Structure 1
Amino acid sequence: MQVSDFDYNLPPELIAQYPAVQRDAARMMAVNRSSGEIVHTNFKSIPDYLQEGDLLVFNETRVFPARLFGKRVKTGGKLEALLLEEKEPGIWEALVRPGRYARQGEEVIFGDSLQAVIGEGTASGGRFIKFPTQDQQEFWEQVYKIGEVPLPPYIKRPAEEMDKDRYQTVYARSVGSAAAPTAGLHFTEEILEQLQDKGVQFAFVVLHVGLGTFRPVHAQKVEEHQMHAEFWRLD
């Protein structure tokens, strides 16, 4: 199967750059599998399409502000890092820009005081970054203070403070994603309550969204595309 089989025309002006004011006001299309009838509505009506005994599985991963901006200590040159996964305590796999100028062993400061050292390259084309601080609470406080939410590449605007809330599901619990599980962004606490009252069952898993969200597909055939690995957990 060719990757090009999935190409379609999507005019840029139809790609929303900001979320709807209300999460559940987003548009939704429902298809009746028996009759083929198509209904255009909004997500607020999702409880009308679910019945008692239906099961919804939610990914409760939580996005953190994984995009950090800093400077190289030796030259003062700007550097950007997108944290993907903590491999060992204090050692992160990351995408670094401009990567060709970031040399192994070079010291970097993100924000005003978050120190780091550039490590070797990774098998997926990223870099390892070591944060010397041993205080996890201090590390996360710094990340949440200076980091930005890494918005998808089709969002052509700078990240804003409100993205830390809106680019997050209302049921997010487990910190670890560099991107949101977008299918769940339109659920509200009210909708979840309506579904529970209706007898719809919930199950929760964790799948931290990482590198694959930001890497383009270069293969010509679907079967040749090399998928990356992501952390998951079933409780």
Structure 2
Amino acid sequence: MKVDLFDFELPQDRIALRPVRPRDAARMLVVRGDNTPFEDKGVLDLPSCLQPGDVLVFNDTRVIPAQLEGRRAGGDAKIGATLHKRLDLRRWQAFVRNAKRVKIADQLIFGGGVTAIAEERHGDGSLTLAFEGNEPVEVLLDRAGTMPLPPYIAQKRGVDEADLEDYQTMFAEKPGAVAAPTASLHFTDRLIEALDERGVARETLTLHVGAGTFLPVKADDTDDHVMHSEFGIITPQTAERLNQARFEGRRIIAVGTTSLRLLESAADEDRTFSPFEGDTDIFITPGYRFKGVDGLMTNFHLPKSTLLMLVSALMGRDRMLAAYAHAIDKEYRFYSYGDSSLLLP
């Protein structure tokens, strides 16, 4: 499909630079698969929008301070690195600003005495960085790194102390993401309590979101776009419980596109889940037949993005573009710190 089919005009003042407080005070647009009117709700209305027995699936990844600023050793060339994907204990794939000034085997010097060697250049322009020393890379990042806010926020303001908490979900346990699973940012203890009272079940999986989630689609046609890969885990116990829920006819609703992508990667053609541990580069566009999920809670996405294509695959392109036009007209807040939507095909 032509990428231009997923374009829309978004006023810049609709891009949320801060989350609402409290988190669960965000608005939520409910979009159903039939042609019923869109429903303007709030995130706190989520329990009443779900059925007892529904299963919400959350991503428990934790964002690491993966944004580094430094220079090339032996020169004054300033570079910035955003870690993208862990390769092993000391090596990370990274998108590097001013990468043309970096040669293979160059040493890069970051703050706090943190150094890395540029080992390999990849086809997408990223570099493999091998961190020097014996300290765990997580310790080095705590010393030298900052929270990697999305580009559309970072271009408008700097990272500050508030982001250390604002850009983590209440489910964040497994360090490794360089972008938050933002649909879960809206959840609070009181919302979880209300969901429990409604009889809505919860499961977690782990998908370490990479910086590739923010990369623009440069191809003119979706067939020519190369999707980034991300590492994920669904345990045997979680897969078993999800299969039991499906056997009992209960709906499985992903909280966030990251959860959805991993669920779809782990689902067989007969809609059975298998345990999963490894990389997924699944690219979901209209025409895809969903095997793992019955619904999705997600924020509002960028024009011509892979995530807008994903929600269009779930609900239909015309339906989603109409929903986005409604959201713009009703002044919903967009992107990572913005409002939410509940998509029920």
What is the TM-score normalised by the length of structure 2? Answer: 0.64
- Is the counterpart of residue 148 in structure 1 residue 146 in structure 2? yes
1:134-188 Cα deviation digits (max 9, x unpaired): 221xx32231233111111221211112112111111111111111111111111
Partner Cα distance (2:168, 2:133) in 1: 28
Closer/same/farther in 2, CA of residues 32 and 210 from structure 1, 3 Å limit: closer
Task: Between 91-100 and 37-46, report the one with greater CA deviation.
Answer: 37-46
DSSP-derived class of the 2:152 partner:
coil
Q: Secondary structure at the match of 1:5?
A: helix
Runs (4+) of structure 1 exceeding 4 A deviation are: 32-35
Unpaired runs of at least 5, structure 1? none
* 2:103 paired with 1:103: yes
Q: 1:49: how far off?
A: 1.0
How far has the Cα of 1:33 moved from its partner? 5.3
Q: Residue 164 of structure 2 corresponds to which residue in structure 1?
A: 164
- Shift of residue 34, structure 1, vs aligned partner: 6.1
Assess, with a 3 A threshold, how the Cα gap between structure 1 residues 112 and 186 changes in structure 2: closer, same or farther: same
How many angstroms does 1:58 deviate by?
Answer: 0.6
Verify the 8 A CA contact 1:90 1:134 in the aligned structure 2.
no
Structure number having the greater helix percentage: 2
SS at match of 2:151: coil
How far 1:36 sits from its partner (Å)?
A: 1.1
Correspondence 1:73 to 2:48 = no
Q: Would the alpha carbon gap of residues 71 and 39 (structure 1) be closer, same or farther in structure 2, given more than 3 Å must change?
A: same
> Secondary structure at 2:71's aligned position in 1?
strand
CA apart distance, 1:232: 0.9
The one-letter code matched in structure 2 to 1:151 is L
Q: Which residue of 1 aligns with 2:184?
A: 184
Consecutive unaligned residues of structure 2, counting only runs of 5 or more, are: 236-345
Separation in 2 of the partners of 1:135 and 1:32? Answer: 50
Give secondary structure in 1 for the equivalent of 2:176: strand
- Please, what TM-score do these two structures have when normalized by structure 1? 0.93
> Structure 1, residues 9-60: CA drift from partner, whole Å, max 9, x if none?
1000111111112111111112455671333222122112122101111111
The 3 A distance-change label for structure 1 pair 90 and 31 is closer
Percent identity over paired residues = 39
Aligned to 2:331: none
Compute the displacement of 1:63 (Å). 0.8
Shift of 1:77: 2.7
Following superposition, the deviation at residue 67 of structure 1 comes to 0.4
Taking only aligned residues, the RMSD between alpha carbons, in angstroms, comes to 1.6
Is the 8 Å Cα contact of residues 90 and 133 (structure 1) preserved in structure 2? no
Partner of 2:45: 45
- Cα distance in 2 for partners of 1:123, 1:176 equals 23
Q: Deviations over 1:86-145 (max 9, x none)?
A: 212211111111100011111122113112112220233200111122221xx3223123
Instruction: Give the Cα separation in 1 of the matches to 2:65 and 2:179.
Output: 9
